[in-house]
Structure 1
Amino acid sequence: MKYLKEKTVLITGGASGIGKIMLRLMLERNAKVIIWDINQDNIDQTISEFSENQNLFGFKVDVSNPEQIQETAKKVKKEIGVVDVLINNAGIVVGKFFNEHSTTDIAKTMEINAIGPMYVAKEFLKDMLSQNSGHICNIASSGGLISNPKMSVYASSKWALIGWSDSLRLEMKQLGKDINVTTIMPYYINTGMFDGVKSKIPILEPEAAALTIVKAIERNKKMVTIPGYIYRFTRFGQAIMPINIFDWFASDVLGIYKTMEHFVGRKK
C-alpha cells in the first residue's frame, strides 16, 4: 500500500516490541492506528505515550480466542471503520526441547502464532474484498525457513504461517483483487523475546526491523527476509547440499543450531 496517509492500520501485539515501533512509524505517516494486545497495562502506557495523537486506539484482545477476535472486530468496525492495513505481529515462543513441552505450550504457540492470524484476517478480509483494496502483513520468522533445536513448536507455527500467508497472496491474485499480502521473515530481533540467544549472525535492532517492515508494506513486497540474504542462503543451501552437509554448515559454521542453547526469553 503505497500511501498510508489517512489509512486505518491494525497491529496485533502493538503495545510492545516492534509492534509499538511500527505504530509510531504509522502515526508519523498520518495513518489511523489501532493496536490489539493481550496486556492492558502495556496498552494504557502506549496510549499515554502518544496521548497528543487522536488517531491511536487500543483494545485488549487474546488472538488465540476467536470469540474475542469476532467481538472486538465488530467494535472496531462500528466505532472506527474499515481496516485498510492489517499487521499480524502478535507472537510467543517457548524455547525448550520438544519432549519438555506441555500440551498447553504446544496449543498456545500454534493458536497465537499460526491460527490467530487467520482468525484476525478473516474478520477484516471481507471489507477489503468489498472495497477491492487492502494489505495484510504477516510477521513470520526465519525460523519458518530452517529447522532449529529448542524451537520445534515455534518453527512449526511459523512454517504454517508462511504457507498460509503466501497462499493467501496467490488467492487474492487469482481472484483479481487489489489486496496485497506481505510475508515477513526476520532473524532474531533484540526485543527481549529471545533474551539469552547467542548468534554469530548479527541480531536485529528493533527500530531498523520495524522500518523495513513498514517500507515493505509501502512497496507492496511479497516475501521479505531480514536480513535479505537469509532466504537466499537457506533455499540455495538446502537445494544443493546433502542434509548432513547443510546441518554441519548451519550448526558449526554459522552456529544457527546452537543459538537457543542459553535462551531465557522475556522476563515475566
Structure 2
Amino acid sequence: MGKQKEVQHMEANKKSLLITGASSGLGRELAVEAAAAGYQLLLVARSEDKLKQIAEELNERFQTNVTLYKADLNNPDEWQSALQQIVRENQRIDVLINNAGVGYFRLFTDTDPTQIETTMRVNSLAAMEASAAILPVMLKQGTGHVIMIGSMAGKVATPKAAVYGASKHSIIGFSNGLRQELKPYGVHVTTVNLGPMDTNFFDTADPSGRYREASARYMLQPDKVARKVISSIGKNKREINLPSWMGIGSKVYQLMPGLAEILLGKQFNKK
C-alpha cells in the first residue's frame, strides 16, 4: 500500500458509510470497495441471509466493522423504523449511498400500478426519506457526503422505461436542489448516472434478456463502478457519468432532444 493510500485508509477507518441495497449487484461491490478502503459499514437490504453472508466475507477479508439492517424500502413503515434505528445507534454517519433500485422495462400501458408505485417508492421516495433522516446527523458533524445512484435513463428517457426514467429524473432533480442547499454546510451531494450495468437488476427489469444481450458490448462492470464511486468520497464532485460517452450524449440530447430521438430511435427501442 502506497503512503497516500495508507493515509486515506487510516482516515476512512474513522468514518462510517451507509449503503442501501447492499446485498447484491452494485451495492455489494460498493460494500467491498468501502471495506477495502477502511470504512465502518452500515448495510441495508431486504435479505438478512445475504447481508450476513457479505458481512462474514468482509470481516474475514478486511476485519472491518459491519452493522446490518434488514429493511424493505418498498414498505414505508418498515423503512422509517429502520432509519430511526440507524440514527439512534450511530452517532456519526459520514457517507450515505442511496443505491437501492428496481425497474420494469415494459410499455407504460402494460405496466401494473403496483409496479409504478414500487419503482417510484424504492428509487425515489426511499432515497429522499433516507436523506431526510441522515442529513441532520451530517449537519451536526459539519461534514458528510450523500451519493445518489441515478441513471442515464433519468437524463435521456426511452421507450419501455418511462416510469423508471421518471424515478431517476426525480432523483437527479432532487440532488441538484439539495446540493445547493447543503453547499454552505460542508456536505457534498454527488449523482452517479449509469448506463446498463451487468447486475441482477435485469432479472426483474428485462426477464427476456433481450436488452442485456443488445447492450452487452458496453455493459458496465459493477466492481469498476464501485471503485470510482468510493474514490469520489469527500470530493466536491457534482456528477459521475458512466460510460463517459453516454454522459456526452445526454448533453446533446438536452440541447436537441427531437433530433436525438430521430437519430437514435433504433437504439432507444432495444428494450
Shorter-chain TM range is 0.7 to 0.9
Hey, what does 1:16 align to over in structure 2? 24
Whole-Å separation in 1 of the counterparts to 2:164 and 2:22: 20
Alignment of 1:1-268 (within 5 A): 3-52=11-60, 53-173=63-183, 176-194=184-202, 196=209, 197=211, 198-199=214-215, 202-239=218-255, 241=256, 243=258, 245-252=259-266, 255=267, 257-260=268-271
| Cα deviation digits, residues 211-239 of structure 1 (max 9, x gap) | 11112224331111111232222222441
Q: CA deviation at 1:194?
A: 2.2
Counterpart CA distance in 2 for 1:132 and 1:65 is 31
- 2:230 is paired with a residue of what secondary structure? helix
Equivalent-residue separation in structure 2 for 1:43 and 1:129 (angstroms): 29
One-letter amino acid of the counterpart of residue 167, structure 1: G
**Distance verdict in 2 for CA 1:80–1:17, change over 3 Å:** same
Tell me if the contact between 2:59 and 2:65 (Cα under 8 Å) persists in the aligned partners.
Answer: no
Q: Which amino acid aligns with 1:20?
A: R
User: Matched residue pairs, number?
Assistant: 252
Offset at residue 74 of structure 1 (A) = 3.0
**Cα pair 2:38 2:64 within 8 Å, conserved:** no
Q: CA deviation at 1:69?
A: 2.8
| CA 231–125 in structure 1, closer or farther in 2 if over 3 Å, else same | same
Q: Which runs of 5+ in 2 are unaligned?
A: 1-7, 204-208
SS at match of 1:150: coil
SS of residue matched to 2:12: coil
The structural deviation recorded for 1:47 is 1.9
Shift of 1:201: 6.0
TM-score, structure 2 normalization:
0.87
In the alignment, is the contact (CA less than 8 A) between 2:107 and 2:159 conserved in 1? yes
What is the CA–CA distance in structure 1 between the aligned matches of 2:257 and 2:95, rounded to whole Å? Answer: 41
In structure 2, distance between residues paired with 1:230 and 1:33:
31
Cα drift, residue 54 of structure 1: 4.6
Are the counterparts in 2 of residues 4 and 218 from structure 1 also a CA contact under 8 Å? no
**Corresponding residue number in structure 2 for 1:266:** none
Find the aligned partners of 2:234 and 2:191 in 1 and give their Cα distance: 13
Q: What percentage of aligned pairs have identical amino acids?
A: 29
Per-residue CA deviations over 1:166-201 (Å, capped at 9, x if unaligned) read 21001112xx10000000001011012125221276
- Runs of 5+ consecutive residues of structure 1 not aligned to the other structure: 261-268
Distance 2:162 2:187 in 1: 32
Distance in 1 (CA, whole Å) between partners of 2:118 and 2:13 is: 35
1:142-170 deviation per Cα after TM superposition (whole angstroms, max 9, x unaligned)? 01011111111101000001100121001
> TM-score, normalised to structure 1's length?
0.88
Structure 1 position 242, deviation (Å):
6.0
Name whichever structure is richer in helix by fraction: 2
Give the root-mean-square deviation of aligned CA atoms. Answer: 1.8
**Distance in 1 between the 2:248 and 2:20 partners?**
29
SS at match of 2:241: strand
1:51 is displaced (CA, Å) by 3.6
Cα offset, 1:57, TM superposition: 1.3
Task: Give the whole-Å Cα distance in 1 for the aligned partners of 2:19 and 2:261.
Answer: 36
